[in-house]
Amino acid sequence: MEFLFEYGLFFAKAITVVMAIVAVLIAFVAIAMKQKGQASGKGQLEIRSISDALEDVTDYAEKMLLSDAQLKQFMKDKKAEEKAKAKADKAAIKRAAKNKIGSDPNLSDSPAKISTDKARLFVINFHGSVDAHEVANLREEITAILLAAEDNDEVLVNLESGGGVVHGYGLAASQLQRIKAKGLKLTICVDKVAASGGYMMACVADRLICANFAIIGSIGVIAQMPNFNKLLKKNDIDFEQHTAGDYKRTLTVFGENNDEGRAKFKAELEEVHVMFKDFVNTNRPSLDIAKVATGEYWFGLQAKELGLVDELATSDDIILELNKTHEIFSVKYSEKKNVMEKLGFAAENTMFRAYNRIFNQSQTPIS
């Protein structure tokens, strides 16, 4: 028995040493990969032609429906069409270069802008979380578009967000305002939800479209927190908090809250709500803001009647509609993450998804 006890003690010590060594190795690997990630740059911008992808789908569908003789003629016509397009593109390049050199010989080495028959539509996908960290990529995508866009180009944002922190979604809405300030038309499509901070972004659009049962609105402000002061007192645990300034901290998690702090906290929420309403009213002046800014949300069909959106449609139909008159490109900026960052991001996303699932199921009716 004594032998087994000593062996177990030795085994426990060995496991402890191994775990300590593994922890140190993981820390060194994390630091090394973080430094490598910092040295390799922020991220990368990807621009993909949606028009080309739609054309490929159309061609494939047509080919599957044709007989052998029809397919042969189709391929012949397609080849002639591609040849004519390549010739037209080459002529446009020469014409643009000639015009640039003629207007300013000193700029002959810089690239000339090539005019096309169709305007361009740049598509951004924004799926916002509670902390609105996606705005970091959004700002890069918008900056890239503004640097490349010409006068007749447009921007479409596929937006999905149930809202979150005020400062995060305020910045996201300000990023969308940059598009309009540049003189580009902004269309926003909502297939599922644009509520609270999500609607703060959506209302900036020149043309706001949503699906029939998308959740729209929730123009209100909420703040909530637990208070453990009674629990601490029950267990004889003291908590100290010192501030300079009457309202440096109104409500706390561990301290004892009072009516004055609660009143100030509620007043601050009201101030934010007033700013939220003013922002929506500025961007959509025809709205009856007193009627819709109650914190309620509506489905797309109801939102259309209230004037919260302009049209009812899915983003897919809008893309197909605009593809007739525009060359469409998706714009996506993504940051490269090392292994440790990916693991941390995955864990964070799991917690957020669990919270959102519980919260949404308790708030959203189902059928």
**Whether residue 248 lies in the annotated active site:** yes
Residue linked to tokens 């007989």: 67
Tally of residues, the chain: 367
Q: Is 187 exposed, middle or buried (0-12, 13-18, 19+ CB in 10 A)?
A: buried
pLDDT of residue 81: 76
Are 91 and 109 contacting, i.e. CB atoms less than 8 angstroms apart? no
Residue 224: φ, ψ to 5°:
-150, 150
- Give the active site residue among 113, 230, 234, 248: 248
Q: Which residues contact 275 (CB under 8 A, 6 or more apart)?
A: none
Are 198 and 169 contacting, i.e. CB atoms less than 8 angstroms apart? yes
What does the pLDDT look like over 294-315, one tens digit per residue? 999 999 999 999 999 999 999 9
Could you give the CA distance from residue 314 to residue 311 in angstroms, rounded to a whole number?
10
Residues of the chain with confidence (pLDDT) below 70 = 1-15, 17-20, 22-41, 89, 92-116, 337-367
Could you give the CA distance from residue 193 to residue 202 in angstroms, rounded to a whole number?
10
pLDDT of residue 363: 45
**Whether residue 110 lies in the annotated active site:** no
For domain 42-67+115-219+295-351, the CATH superfamily is 2-enoyl-CoA Hydratase; Chain A, domain 1 (3.90.226.10)
Could you give the CA distance from residue 220 to residue 274 in angstroms, rounded to a whole number?
9
Could you give the CA distance from residue 318 to residue 190 in angstroms, rounded to a whole number?
11
Q: Which residues pair with 262 in a beta bridge?
A: none
- Give the active site residue among 51, 129, 196, 330: 196
| Residue limits of CATH 3.90.226.10 in the chain | 42-67+115-219+295-351
Q: Is 358 exposed, middle or buried (0-12, 13-18, 19+ CB in 10 A)?
A: exposed
Q: pTM score > 0.85 for this model?
A: no
Are 247 and 263 contacting, i.e. CB atoms less than 8 angstroms apart? no
- Name which of 199, 207, 132 is nearest 159 in CA terms: 199
pLDDT of residue 44: 93
pLDDT of residue 353: 61
